[in-house]
Chains A and B, each alone.
Chain A
């Protein structure tokens, strides 16, 4: 009985476990081949560098669970970062600098959400459009000039190590909180419901379109937060920052087992996905693999993850 149930859990969490397994293997290889990988300092700053991606991936997970997608977060990220940076450079009080990117992100997200949920336009196209518009608009106004930040802002004025720890802990708390909420709060279940079958949700009185809209707003706010968390890690803002983060986030979610058809997937899987993808690139450096293999290997990993799943569900189909 017990082992049968344990088997069930295994099959239920197969995806999460398989990703975690791959991650563990990779880490073991590194532990043997390049123990330097686990030195405290690089480890901490590496993790800190990855917190923005994690936050963005959490938001993206919600969006995909809603059977939507948002490829504009890279541009949102840059816009929020630059605005926050400008405010900071303009000697605005710290809390303004911290709140502004969240609000701006939320506003941008609301724009996407309004078009997707309100006008029922396909999200991939809407966000494709807003991505280009935001990115080019920023390039036009900012012309790629860095913004130098005042000294007080980096690590929120904390010491470097404690600042990094703060970021990491905060990101993990956020993840845990969201994971808990997705499982144990009605709001979270509404998101699953809306993604699983919007019409059924409507008939059950759950207002899926409002849910979708709010998820986009949340996505925007989280993007702003991610931008802020990236901002405080260096004394300058690069107006090109955030380029490609949308692909990272989507890839992490997919590798973590979130179904693009909506309604299926868990944040812990996404966490594993983020960690895995975040480890690949440094691993290449530590194992002294030539950099030009990077893209190919990342692509291969994404494919492997989905192919494994595909083969498994195919077996399931044939077994039934």
Chain B
């Protein structure tokens, strides 16, 4: 019911504008909305940005591509005034602007949707939006009614069913993302920056987002759009600029360039985007779930089998209960009904410790918060789940640990200065590999991967895919959660689709995207197509 309403409103907000109109605008000659000239920024010895130039025309969606650590986020923070550049010039409407502060940038009409929602968990949705939109003068009287009305209106425009009076801490990740988008929408900003806005969005919410982007473009605003998902870039962008190692590799009109060459520009080498094929026939059943329920976790009636050597993709919208199922299997939100059978034997999993003991491994969704401990050395991160086995008794054996780490670094190709470097010093992809290494060290029977390549750059992405496939080939049972549909389709031997906290269907063979989306969306399947 509510879904359909969302759809309509979204469509409504798309209707008046057409991409053609937007393109027309770009041809009209006027000074660029935003002109960055030879921006440089260093952190200590590291040159994060090296003489990067970028121009943003009115009514243009300008995609920014690049592997993690290429300097995209730094560039954004420069534009939003969060970082001050060491060198270079910023012009808006042809007028040079001096030092930018977040406040000043906002005053100049620059809005931004950050990758991790930059919201205040303790404050209400309405207030979060207001704090981002209202001008920040301390003596201002707060008008609560107006705040709520405004928030309601914005959220309604997005077709989001979020109570403005709710505290943000109670919202799901995608809902928080929507609040972010509402901020950008309400800011009336002429320069809108979106840093991987779709990272945690469901297919349908992505459509809403695209509608917003097109709306902004039609209004003559300029959008800088960052994403790892090339299909989005091709669907939305007018021009695309590629960054690599803090330098600008080049800017092209989207219709003058194709995927392969973009990837080549990003990675600096050819990368196979084809997913590694299945190598082994599934063997005997490892995991068997019968009517699994967890009230705390919010999943119920789960029936699922995973064989050794197969990769089962867990598809569905965010909030459909995929991560929740993983957390239940891993004992973070223990099951309170149904049974879990490992190798045919029923097991009871009350906490992660039990799960590990039974050979279950789980690389969580939020890598920076749960996956690895950024401040600790790579070696310590890798050995963390195998304390009992690696350190019999209680004494650390640093040599053994170091060896373990070195092996992992070699096997998984982790790019680092050494096992004692803090995990935080690694790029996202390599952090993910460390997280993976931690769990491979436990010699698991079942490996649960939650968004294994989210925010991971293309190069590392395909490497991780290869690793996963290899592990399966070695006889590991893999349960892979991903919102990246091509990934699910490409990697999985079977796909279990979840909706509303339970598995609605299991698709064998190689199904097409539509069937998966249809299952994930339930009745509003056609709209998904």
Residues of A within 8 A of B (CB): 183-190, 192-193, 195-197, 199-207, 262-264, 317-318, 320
Contact = CB atoms under 8 A, between A and B. Distances in A.
Contacts of B101: 205
Contacts of A320: 296
Contact of B132 (A189, A204, A317): A204
Contacts of A190: 136, 138
Interface string B130-157: 0110101111111010000000000000
17 contacts: A184-B142, A185-B140, A185-B142, A186-B134, A190-B136, A193-B120, A195-B122, A199-B118, A200-B119, A201-B120, A201-B131, A205-B101, A205-B103, A206-B136, A263-B121, A264-B122, A318-B296
B105 A205 contact: yes
A187 B122 contact: no
Given A185-B141, A205-B81, 13 more contacts: A184-B142, A186-B142, A188-B142, A189-B131, A190-B138, A193-B123, A202-B102, A203-B82, A204-B131, A205-B102, A262-B122, A263-B120, A263-B123
B472 interface: no
Interface in B99-139: 101-106, 112, 114, 118-123, 127, 131-132, 134, 136-139
A203 B102 contact: yes
Interface residues of B, number: 30
Contact of A196 (B82, B105, B120): B120
Given A201-B120, A203-B118, A320-B296, A184 B141 contact: yes
A185 B118 CA distance: 22
Q: Which 6 A-B pairs have the closest CB atoms?
A: A205-B103, A263-B122, A205-B102, A187-B138, A196-B120, A196-B122
Nearest to A203: B118
Interface of B: 80-82, 101-106, 112, 114, 118-123, 127, 131-132, 134, 136-142, 144, 296
A318 B294 CA distance: 11
Given A203-B80, A205-B103, A197 B118 contact: yes
B120 A192 contact: yes
Contacts of B118: 197, 199-200, 203-204
A197 B119 CA distance: 7
Nearest to A65: B122
B103 A196 contact: no
Contact of B102 (A188, A193, A195, A204): A204
A193 B127 CA distance: 10
Contacts of B114: 203
A31 to B, nearest CB: 38
Nearest to B120: A196
A186 B137 contact: yes
Q: What is the interface of chain B mostly: helix, strand, loop, or mixed?
A: loop
B122 to A, nearest CB: 4
A152 B122 CA distance: 48
Contact of B103 (A184, A207, A262, A264): A207
Contact of A192 (B80, B106, B123, B132): B123
Nearest to B80: A203
Contacts of A317: 296
Most chain A CB neighbours (cut-off 10 Å) among B82, B141, B142: B142
Contacts of A207: 103, 136
A197 B105 contact: no
Contacts of B136: 186, 190, 204-207
Nearest to A201: B120
Contact of B121 (A186, A196, A201, A318): A196
Given A187-B139, A205-B105, A192 B296 contact: no
A320 B141 CA distance: 36
A188 B105 CA distance: 23
A185 B137 CA distance: 9
A203 to B, nearest CB: 5
B82 A202 contact: yes
B258 to A, nearest CB: 35
B324 to A, nearest CB: 12
Contacts of B131: 189, 193, 201, 204, 206
Nearest to B143: A184
B358 to A, nearest CB: 24
A193 B118 CA distance: 11
A185 B143 CA distance: 9
A189 B82 CA distance: 21
A317 B297 CA distance: 11
Given A202-B102, A318-B296, A185 B139 contact: yes
Most chain B CB neighbours (cut-off 10 Å) among A201, A203, A262, A320: A203
B142 A197 contact: no
A206 B118 CA distance: 13
Contacts of B139: 185-187
B81 to A, nearest CB: 8
Most chain B CB neighbours (cut-off 10 Å) among A197, A205, A263, A318: A205
A201 B296 CA distance: 32
A6 to B, nearest CB: 16
Most chain A CB neighbours (cut-off 10 Å) among B102, B103, B127, B136: B136
A197 B117 CA distance: 11
A207 B131 CA distance: 12
A189 B136 CA distance: 10
Contacts of B120: 192-193, 196-197, 200-201, 263
Nearest to B82: A203
A189 B147 CA distance: 13
Contacts of A263: 120-123
Contacts of A192: 120, 122-123
Contacts of B82: 202-203
B198 to A, nearest CB: 20
A210 to B, nearest CB: 10
B304 to A, nearest CB: 24
A303 B168 CA distance: 29
Contacts of B80: 203
A183 B141 CA distance: 9
A317 B332 CA distance: 13
A201 B142 CA distance: 17
Nearest to A259: B122
